[in-house]
Amino acid sequence: MVNYLTDFLRKLIPYQGSLIRVKATKSIEPKAKEYLNKLSKQGLIQRVKWGWYWVPAEIVDIWDFLKTDKNFKVVSAQTAASFWNNDFIHREVYTLKVDDKSYGQALQEFAKTKGWQIEIECSKDLSKVKHRKIGNLFVEIIEDNVITCLQRWAFVDAFATLHKNRSKINWDQLYQTAYWKRISKTNIRTRQALEYGFHQFEEMGGVNFPHRETKISDHFVKQAIDEAVEKVVAFC
Residue 207, pLDDT > 90, answer no
Burial pattern 56-91, b for ≥16 Cβ within 10 A else e, equals: eeebeebeebbebbebebbbbbbbbbbbbbeebeee
Positive or negative: CA dihedral 64, 168, 174, 157: positive
Quote the Cα angle for 88-95-25, to 5°.
Answer: 135
Report the pLDDT averaged over residues 88-101: 94
Report the pLDDT averaged over residues 156-163: 96
Q: Residues 17, 24: contact at Cβ < 8 Å?
A: no
Share above pLDDT 90 across residues of the chain, in percent, rounded to a whole number = 86
Closest alpha carbon to 90 in 81, 100, 103, 101: 81
pLDDT at 35: 94
Q: How far is CA 205 from the centre of its chain?
A: 32
Cα 175 from Cα 72, distance rounded (Å):
29
Closest alpha carbon to 110 in 8, 201, 229, 20: 20
pLDDT at 52: 98
Closest alpha carbon to 105 in 16, 21, 15, 37: 21
